[in-house]
Amino acid sequence: MSERGLDAKIVDMAKELQGFTVEMRRDFHKHPETKFEEQRTSEIVENFLRDCGYATQRAAGTGVIGILECNTGKAKSTVALRADMDALNVEEQNDVSYKSTIPGKMHACGHDAHTAMLMSAAKIISSLKDHLVGTVKLVFQPGEEGGAGAKKVMDEGHLNDVDAIFGIHVWVELPSGVLATRKGPMMASSDGFEICITGKGGHAAHPHLTNDPTAPAADIYNAFHKLISRAVNPFFPAVITLPQLEASNGYNVIPDSVKMRGTLRTFDSDLRNKLMDHMRSITEHYAKGWGCNSSFELFRAPYPPLINNPDLVDFVTEALCMLGPVAEAEMTMGGEDFAFYTQKIPGAFLQLGIGNKEKNVIFPHHHPKFDIDEDVLWKGVAAYALIAYRYNPLS
């Protein structure tokens, strides 16, 4: 069969598996598991991969990697496809048959769809084994949501032999069915920081008898936001947000301490480091000026910016032509731990549009009413399978 003929066959198989893909997505949605608790999900995935002829390895605790050797005597190249599996600590507000059955947990970012799509793609890729060369690795990854699961997978060495890696994320900001990517920076670095200012509390009527930590906290809050306009080149995007503050429980009580939590986002690692130094210095000196002590710490692993390999973006654009044109994605300040892969392996990350106003699929990622247009899941399946086939076809 010609290359074009196999492309069409892959698309047809993805459409035939649409019912299975939706069924699996709904099953995972009803049984969400948060970072590094994906026991049920990983067991289902691992058993399915073995039934499809893949060797499997456990990774990062609750992750699963499927390995398919295809005519390896003719090529040594290894391509990896990644799907994340974890849910969020969100109470679902959707009234649907597949609503989360776990209180306080929900697939509010679409990772249930990613897992289901890559499972269906695994079935297609396995059936085309005789038309492929080299090795295909399917990475079902835990802990994307703040757990840096990708970093754990990399640190354990599971992908040391991988020549290229690809990932797909459902994207509500894009119209349903649209595929998009871009060359170079696509998603921002993501840091979570915590500031603690410790002083001496007391009665609000006698502030002079205290070392009020709320005074430097307010100054630090304002100074951090001034960094964007005064310490950053206007042509370099950056965001600092401090939405979480904990201080007094009483309107007339000055607290002993104040805690603030926030996030820093940039597309440039050098700028990120520069801003971090500024933020530490501001915290220390403002607190000291008010007679308080301070600390500035990261409370989770920092995510680097996600940088797509330009050659692989060109490859993807050509490989997916059967699915229509691939649009240029907008840069986003959202973070994604796929960036840990692209730090060391050439890679490309894609978005699959799932936004549909007619179906009320309009709520953003991480929202309690987030949902997806399931009718386009076959397209994600086809994209995964086409990338695997086109990267290492048997010539």
What residues are labeled active site? 303, 374
Number of neighbouring beta carbons within 10 Å of residue 333: 16
Residues 6+ apart with CB under 8 A from 138: 49, 54, 65, 66, 67, 68, 80, 81, 82, 83, 118, 121, 122, 125
For residue 111, say whether it is annotated as part of any ligand binding site.
yes
Residues 6+ apart with CB under 8 A from 184: 307, 308, 310
Question: In this structure, what token pair is assigned to residue 339?
Answer: 């960036």
For residue 109, say whether it is annotated as part of any ligand binding site.
yes
Sequential DSSP letters for 118-171: HHHHHHHHHHTGGGB-EEEEEEEE---SSS-HHHHHHHTTTTTT-SEEEEEEEE
Sequential DSSP letters for 18-47: HHHHHHHHHHHHHS---TT--HHHHHHHHH
How long, in residues, is the chain? 395
Q: Are 350 and 81 in contact (CB under 8 A)?
A: no
- Tell me how far apart the alpha carbons of residues 270 and 275 are, in angstroms, rounded to a whole number: 9
- Tell me how far apart the alpha carbons of residues 65 and 122 are, in angstroms, rounded to a whole number: 11
For residue 145, say whether it is annotated as part of any ligand binding site.
yes
Strand 78-84 versus strand 164-175 pairing type: parallel
H helices present in the chain, as ranges:
3-16, 18-30, 39-51, 111-127, 149-155, 214-230, 269-289, 310-319, 339-342, 377-391
Question: In this structure, what token pair is assigned to residue 28?
Answer: 């995972």
- Tell me how far apart the alpha carbons of residues 306 and 147 are, in angstroms, rounded to a whole number: 16
Question: In this structure, what token pair is assigned to residue 89?
Answer: 């600590």
For residue 366, say whether it is annotated as part of any ligand binding site.
yes
Q: What angle do CA 385, 386, 389 make, to 5 degrees?
A: 85
Strand 191-198 versus strand 293-298 pairing type: antiparallel
- Tell me how far apart the alpha carbons of residues 313 and 183 are, in angstroms, rounded to a whole number: 6
Residue positions in the annotated binding site? 109, 111, 145, 169, 366
Residue positions in the annotated binding site for Mn(2+)? 109, 111, 145, 169, 366
